[in-house]
A = this chain, B = another copy of it.
Amino acid sequence: MTTRTDTLSDLDFPADGLAVGPDVADLLFREARTVNTFTDTDVSDEQVRAAYELLRWGPTAMNTVPLRLLLVRTPEARARLAAHMPEGNRSRVLAAPLTIVAAADTNFHEHLDVLAPHLENARAMFPDAAMRESMARMSALIQVGYLIVALRAVGLHAGPMGAGDTDAIDADLLAGTGWKSLMVVNVGTPAGPESVRPRAPRLELAQASLSV
């Protein structure tokens, strides 16, 4: 597969410099909001799969793609997860249609013969567990960015939040996997206008960048 420049030529570039329509820019970024309360509408396996089919193509270091998703649906698992989380976040986890624990797989190297065929014996390059964990956390967090955009691109809304006691979550819900929990993302359909906080400001480019 090569980079397809014909994809771009099929699109119209609006005056604001976008290669996507303004409705897409709104859906994925400009109008998208962190949602705190959701309707009872189920999030289907097909919707999760559709989001994964997008996010999995995002780039990571050496194509390690270490993000793993614990999909929490049952009341029993939901209660176990919530018990390890900050008190202020528990009720949202108990009420969301789907809660995803985003985790980094410290054993990502076991897949590298498939994922990095251009590197000879890539899995043998990572004997150091601490180095693997550092690498896995870095790329998996970048993939959390892809995950949030991908959920929106399939019409879902996300409520990302801190996970609280990640060691306890790992011991209770991820034992034996080698996965290290990073954060939690509630997923569903917003209950209504009261599901989101008033929009908070952002920095201007001049405040967030330097040129050299």
Residue among A4, A10, A48, A158 having the largest count of chain B Cβ atoms under 10 Å: A4
A65-B203, A116-B200, A154-B19 known; A149-B58 Cβ under 8 A: yes
Complexed CA–CA distance, A141 and B68 (Å): 16
Complexed CA–CA distance, A173 and B212 (Å): 9
Residues of the B chain whose Cβ atoms lie less than 8 Å from the Cβ of A16: 50, 53
In the complex, the answer to whether B71 meets A211 with C-beta atoms within 8 Å is yes
Residue of B nearest to A100 (CB): B209
Interface string of A1-21 (1 = CB under 8 A from B): 111110110110100111111
What would be 10 A-B contacts, judged by CB atoms less than 8 Å apart?
Answer: A3-B33, A19-B155, A34-B59, A61-B162, A70-B212, A71-B209, A71-B212, A115-B201, A118-B197, A142-B144
